[in-house]
Structure 1
Amino acid sequence: MKKKVFGLLIVAILVAIMVTQYVRGSIEESQKVPEEAIGTSVDILPESGLEKGKAPPDFEVKTLDGESVKLSDYKGKKVILNFWASWCPPCKAEMPHMQNYYEDYAEKDNVEILAVNLTNAEYGGIDDAIQFVEDYELTFPIPTDEDGSLEKTYEILTIPTTFTIDTAGLIRHKIVGPMDEQMMIDLVDSME
């Protein structure tokens, strides 16, 4: 009798482990970004709450320079809204392209780059972001997300992640992964 109870207990434990693994795998699979979407423009999924063609959530935060930045103040301009951190290798690869685009095209194309630093995710806090901006000689505004609220609001799971916003203040694209200068040119041109 004890052997039967022990055997049933073992079977119950194995079933529990299998169910747990299945549920964990299903959750991970549902959160996975499709490989073909990394570094490409993808339509925003309706369940994300950040739908293509909708106004993105407004925010007001301080930049590294201490200036106040409010997203809605840029209505009438095209906006490249980027989320990054200094320790992220793809972010490091992307930033020189952003700076080049900003210097060469932003003014004539009526574009503003807002590169939101996920300050709450920086190992050394805001000092890491400041050093990064100095090292890369970035001249566009760097808003800071010190408490992680923008990261949550914009559902940032992978960095860099970028949204393009048209002159009407509506989301046009979501890009997961790094961009290069030509990709920025193409995305902005598609908002004409």
Structure 2
Amino acid sequence: MLWRSKQVTSPAQLEAIPASRWVNQPLPDVQIMTQQGQGVSLSEFKGKPMVLMDWASWCQHCQKAMPIMSKLYQTYHDDITFIFLNATGSAQGKETRDRAANYRQQLPYEIPIYYDQQMAAANQLQVTAVPTYFFLDKKGVVKYVTTADMTENELESQILNLLPQQNKDS
């Protein structure tokens, strides 16, 4: 797995992101693991819009984004489901559950971390770089995918795009 950063994901760049094949499609129902070691499937989270961030603690771009994402989680977790999917068990062996948990403790806000054991979800979702962000509507349809290095305003804008219009003005 690589890390990649672009300031803006143009349509041409989006086509180069394998996971972008899911845009305007339902995200596959992949299995992930909770912090407590229980298996769950993404379909269990349907009903609310979702932000799924595939990340790793060793990734510099993830390290830059996680404090922002933890802040956005604190603001929007009542209206949006956040899945912080840790790339555990990659072939390179860089990431472990312990490393991810230790990194999580350094964040300004507590966030729910899920684990992708043996990279099964990443493979099914065609994630080839971290961070990769998936923004899904409440029906589980992917509205946007990016591997871009996004600012807080850009991330929040994508989150607000998932919410009904009346929530955007409050």
- The alignment's TM-score, normalised by the length of structure 2, stands at 0.79
More contact order relative to length (CA 8 Å, sep ≥ 6): 2
Decide which of 107, 111, 119 is 2:80's aligned counterpart: 111
Q: Which runs of 5+ in 1 are unaligned?
A: 1-32
Task: Specify whether residues 51 and 78 from structure 1 end up closer, same or farther in structure 2 by C-alpha distance, changes over 3 A only.
Answer: same
Partner of residue 8, structure 2: 40
Q: How does 1:165-176 map to 2 (within 5 A)?
A: 165-176=136-147
2:86 alignment partner AA: N
User: Who wins on radius of gyration, i.e. which is larger?
Assistant: 1
- The code of the aligned residue for 1:64 comes to Q
The corresponding residue for 1:54 is 25
Q: 1:166 to 1:124 in 2, by over 3 A?
A: closer
Flag the 1:84–1:39 CA change in 2: closer, same or farther, 3 A: farther
Question: Residue by residue, what CA displacement relative to the aligned partner does 1:45-87 show, whole Å, maximum 9, x if unpaired?
Answer: 4994733111011112212233433211121111101111111
How much has 1:148 moved relative to structure 2? 1.3
Correspondences of 1:22-171 after superposition (within 5 Å): 38-41=6-9, 45=15, 48=18, 50-107=21-78, 110-121=79-90, 122-123=93-94, 125-136=96-107, 138-171=109-142
Contact 1:90-1:177 at 8 Å conserved across structures = no
Distance, in Å, in 2 between the alignment partners of 1:46 and 1:94 is 22
Q: How far apart are residue 178 of structure 1 and its match?
A: 3.1
Cα gap change, 1:55 to 1:124, in 2 (>3 Å):
closer
Preserved CA contact (<8 Å) 1:100 1:181? no
Consecutive unaligned residues of structure 2, counting only runs of 5 or more, are 165-170
Conservation of the 8 A alpha-carbon contact between 1:39 and 1:176: no
CA contact 1:81–1:162 (8 Å) conserved in 2: yes
What is the CA distance between 1:40 and its match in structure 2? 3.4
Alpha-carbon shift at residue 102 of structure 1 (Å): 0.9
Matched length: 155
Give, in whole Å, the separation in 1 of the partners of 2:18 and 2:59: 23
* Percentage of pairs with the same residue: 23
